[in-house]
Structure 1
Amino acid sequence: MLRDHLLLVVPLLFGVTLLTILSNKIRVSYPILLVISGLIISVIPGVPNIFLDPDLVFLVFLPPLLYAAAWNTIWKNFWQSRRPIFLLAFGLVIATSATVAYVSNSIIPNFSLAYGFLLGGIISPTDAIAATSVLGNSKIPKRVVTILEGESLLNDASGLVVFRVALAAILGGQFFILKAGQSFLIVATLGIVIGLAIAGVIYLIHRFFPTTPSIDSAITLISPYIMYLTAEHFHFSGVLAVVCGGLFLSYHSQQIFSFETRLQLVGLWETLVYLLNGLVFILIGLQLPHIVNGLEGYSLGQATMYAAIISLVSVVIRIVWVYPGAYLPIYLSKRIRRKERVPPWRNVLLVAWSGMRGVVSLASALAIPLTLSSGEAFPHRNLILYITFVVILVTLVLQGLGLKPLIRLLKIKDDSKDDQKVQGIELRVRLAEAVLNYLDTNYGEEIQKQETFKRVRDRYERMIDIAKRNLDSDQATEATLNFLPKYRKMLVELVHLRRRELNLMSHNGEFSEELIRERLLELDLEEARLKH
């Protein structure tokens, strides 16, 4: 059994890697290419049907992916954008679920509101990785990125809560909106409490127990599973537990981790997230035969018509929701007007169009039980699964492919780019001034007597002089703003030069190999510092 799984997973991971290389070459977002590739592979004769177990997604893939997304979230930016994030992550999810419920109830025979809310809860959450990877290196406003990432970080939880409440109502035979709302609040709130409580314990372990970078990394990898499984065990939101716990520990990471641990975790999480995401997206595409074969009771054309209508509804309701959500609070509240500028309509349209769905939606649909409590087959299960698959394809592939052309058409750009460069120079000046004060206070005598100490001080003094000269003018020129990147580029080139020399020395056997490896590691760390 294990051998069979390895024979499946290893080629898929290798294929994911090759397809990602291809996506970089043709400049198509890798989730889109992986889903399309999975679709193509799935229809090749002789390829076995691969079933995506929802437990695999919820228990293996989802916790680390959510935790990594929370860990990389800048809390300050997240909190500053909390109003639009919460309006999208909770308000839009509920609005989408309700709209889909009533539309599906109207167009699909014998499809009750409870089933409609079940479908709405499944397809309402957007996918964090899909949006950010599709946007890629596009130079768009950072606030837009923060809103999209924050939304997708939280709406998995709200969508899953709607799904769970609707499913419980179907299995219980009754559906009351008020009771569903109460259940939503309880499940979400206690999920947050559990996540923060576990994060607090983990914080204490990292902070006060004698750990090593390897131990810290191991605890960090295990943490999302502990949070998720604990919350789910008590039937609360495991997603919110992981997200809130991850945000808490990320905020305190400078206090609890050494620099060795932080460096180790960066590479570890980047690799893990890349492999998990790649595997998930190609598995989505591979589900097509299984889903179509299970479509009993409906013709393919009929099911596709329903799916197309629901897909259109999910796209339109997002656009309809986003514009009032962006402007009404500003126009209605003086306090908000004082704090925030009116967002450009182009940025709002970009947020409205970035509603790609992903693996959480598919896993939720697959998690619908095969039978009701009475033992009867679960009504409309296969149709819901097919509609979900089509919504993912429409939003991920069609909207995803249209995202970059839309950015170019609307001429959206990051207006804060120059300001960021100026702030970067000012930040370096402040740091250099702090260094000079420290050196003068603690090493004044050594600086006076020893040339080596004096050179260190002179280096920081020159850095301040150059930066201040560039910032003195009222309007910084492009050359001024770019002097640090050019300087950094030169330093990187010098690192490459030294690395080539070391490799040549290693080839010629001129020096100890251990010594050369130590110097190569130093150069790797130096280059990493220069590039980040």
Structure 2
Amino acid sequence: MIIAIVLLNTLANKLRIAYPILLVVAGLTVGFLPGLPMVRIDPDLIFFIFLPPLLFEASWSISFKEMKKWWRIIGSFAFLVVFFTASSVAVVAYYFIPGFTLALGFLLGGIVSPPDAVSTGAITRFVKIPKNTAAILEGESLLNDASSLIIFRFALIAAVTGQFVWQEAALSFLWMVTGGVGVGLLLAWVFVQLHRRLPLDAQSNIALTIIEPYFMYWLAEQLHCSGVLAVVSGGLFLSSKRLLFLNSTSRIQSFSVWGSFVFILNGVVFLLIGLELPEIVEGMRDNGIPLYTAIGSGILITVVLIGARIISSYAALLATIIFRPSVTPPARSVRRRWLMPLLLGWTGMRGVVSLAAALAIPIALDNGTAFPQRSLILFITFIVILLTLVVQGLTLPYLIKRTGLFEGAPEAESEELTRRKMKQGLKKQIYEFLKNKYDNELNGHAGMEKFLKQWEERTKATDDSWMNEKTKVIFVELLEIQRQYLTELNKDPKIDEDMIRQQLYQIDLEEERLKVI
């Protein structure tokens, strides 16, 4: 499977299309090849295996500052839009899909309502979109998993027990949210202390970060609160403290390790549904559900999802213009402002979370009878993922280019100007630090003057013979001064946090280079 993932990703890069599209199509093809072993996954384990690390990595990658800046839009898409979408799916499924109760409709809605961050990120990689739009999509995808899975959990209880008590549900919802966030923050603080107080090397630090999301998720679920919110809140806390408890070696190596780990997990889960598809189709046949009926139901739900998201996008824009015009995302023309919701509505590709949720439906009820419509729900989920990835995924780059929404945007020029100012500020900080602390050593010392010149002009020395133990100590101090400067600079809401992180990564590389001189 990993070989297939690597080869398909290579082909996707060559064709300049998102790799999840090829993976889901390959999974469909592979699933029907004769002679392959039947793959069965324990529904109780599917969430635990895949969700914690995927959510944890996403919470480390996202800019919390941007999330706070656009919290109104992100919050509305992550909670209100998800609930509206799940409700729309529930009503349509109840009235138009034979054998579906309202509880099963909400179960299906909770499964297919959250857009997938991996799919959206992979697709938008080939087109340039503004930072604010990317921040909204990333923030939404991080939180909508929690809201949709809460809907999924309540709907699953209603489908199993046949009853739903609003008062108990409200209290349970409150505990799931507050308990999940509390567990995540508490465990994150504990892990920070472990990283700081134990004499861990880079490998041990990285191994501990891999354990952390699983432990957060497991403990929260044991306490009957949201494991998703525990992982997200804990991940955001740890991400904000990364400079305090991880050294440069750990940060650099963890970037590569986590990138590969998450890439493999995403690829495996896309292929798994293809390997499960023959069994899903067989289950539908055993239940007397014709294949063409199931395909029609999948297309219907896909249309509902796309329509609900586009309607919600325009409703959010209207509400913002009427009630909060000061926070309306900027647009350079009326036409482009009204095309923006269409773009946001068209970015609702489904993926890993929907697959994991569908596979997590129990095979049988407590009394031993088969779970009603499980095979059909799984099949509809697969159709939704396939259509949104292929149709929306392949047309989104064309839509962006055809409408010209982001052409001529001043963001690139502004970003370059900000980057120059940041580097100039770093040079000034270094020069003033050297002058104030090491003025005596600088005078008349050729090596130290060369050292100062390197940092003042940001040029590389032709050799490293001048780097002795004394200058190494000063060098490390300079790197720490730069980190402190960038940390303070990041408090400015106008500065892009990704730019700060890129510069911090460069400083980590400089520190690693220093260790081998």
Range into which the TM-score falls when normalised by the shorter chain: 0.7 to 0.9
Q: 2: distance between equivalents of 1:147 and 1:225? A: 26
Q: In structure 2, how many angstroms separate the alpha carbons of the residues matched to 1:177 and 1:401?
A: 42
Query: Is residue 99–residue 373 contact of structure 2 (8 Å, CA) maintained in 1?
Result: no
For residue 47 of structure 1, report the CA deviation from its aligned partner: 2.7
Report the identity percentage. 42
The answer as to whether partners of 2:75 and 2:140 remain within 8 angstroms in 1 is yes
Q: Distance in 1 between matches of 2:434 and 2:95?
A: 74
Query: Are 2:430 and 2:456, in contact at CA under 8 Å, matched by a contact in 1?
Result: no
Q: Secondary structure at the match of 2:443?
A: helix
**Superposed, which structure 2 residues align to 1:419-434 within 5 Å?**
419-434=414-429
Q: Pick from 342, 345, 351 the counterpart of residue 349 of structure 1.
A: 342
Q: Name the residue aligned to 1:48.
A: 37
One-letter identity of the residue aligned with 1:449: G
Give how far 1:189 is off: 2.0
Is the 8 Å Cα contact of residues 156 and 360 (structure 1) preserved in structure 2? Answer: yes
Deviations 1:314-351 (A, max 9, x none): 110000001211331232136646xx546833333222
Q: Which of residues 453, 456, 460 is equivalent to 2:451?
A: 456
Could you tell me how far 1:33 is from its partner in structure 2?
A: 0.6
Q: Is the 8 A contact 1:122 1:160 kept in 2?
A: yes
Decide which of 66, 74, 79 is 1:90's aligned counterpart: 79
| Displacement after TM superposition at 1:34 (Å) | 1.0
- Residue 323 of structure 2 is aligned with which of 308, 326, 332? 332
* Match of residue 431, structure 2, among 433, 436, 439: 436
User: Shift of residue 210 of structure 1?
Assistant: 2.9
TM-score of the aligned structures, taking structure 1 as reference length:
0.81
Code of the aligned partner of 2:428? E
Distance in 2 between residues matched to 1:61 and 1:439, nearest whole Å = 49
Q: Which AA in structure 2 matches 1:106?
A: Y
Q: TM-score, normalised by structure 2?
A: 0.84
Moved more, 144-153 or 408-417: 408-417
- Measured after TM superposition, the shift of residue 201 of structure 1 is 0.7
Q: Does 1:213 align with 2:212?
A: no
Q: How far apart are 1:459 and its partner, in Å? A: 3.9
Counterparts in 2 of 1:374-523, with a 5 A limit? 374-413=367-406, 415-462=410-457
Q: Which moved more, 1:387-396 or 1:284-293?
A: 284-293
For residue 109 of structure 2, what is the aligned residue in structure 1?
Answer: 120
Unpaired runs of 5+ residues, structure 1, are: 1-11, 465-491, 493-521, 528-532
1:135-214 mapped onto 2 (5 Å cutoff): 135-177=124-166, 179-214=168-203
Aligned partners of 1:307 and 1:390 also within 8 Å? yes
Distance 2:393 2:171 in 1: 35
CA distance in 1: counterparts of 2:274 and 2:16, whole angstroms: 20
Q: CA deviation at 1:69?
A: 0.6
- Tell me if structure 2 keeps the 8 A contact 1:53–1:363: no
Shift of residue 287, structure 1, vs aligned partner: 2.7
Are residue 237 (structure 1) and residue 207 (structure 2) matched? Answer: no
Counterpart check, 1:365 vs 2:354? no
Deviations 1:128-151 (A, max 9, x none): 111101111421111111111111
Q: Is the 8 A contact 2:120 2:348 kept in 1?
A: yes
Structure 2 residue aligned with 1:9: none
Change (3 A) 1:178 1:402: farther
* Cα pair 1:42 1:49 within 8 Å, conserved: no
Alpha-carbon contact 1:108-1:306 (below 8 Å) kept: yes
Q: 8 Å contact 2:249–2:512 — kept in the other structure?
A: no
Alpha-carbon distance change, 321 to 176 in structure 1, aligned in 2, over 3 angstroms: farther
Residue by residue, what CA displacement relative to the aligned partner does 1:83-136 show, whole Å, maximum 9, x if unpaired?
111111111111111111111111123422111111111111111111101111
Contact 1:34 1:278 in 2 (8 A): yes
**Counterpart amino acid of residue 161 in structure 1:** I
In the alignment of these two chains, the number of paired residues is: 458
Q: Using a 3 Å threshold, how does the CA distance of structure 1 residues 178 and 325 change in structure 2: closer, same or farther?
A: farther
Q: Are positions 1:313 and 2:308 aligned together?
A: no
Residues 100 and 70 (structure 1), Cα distance of their counterparts in 2 relative to 1, 3 Å cut:
same
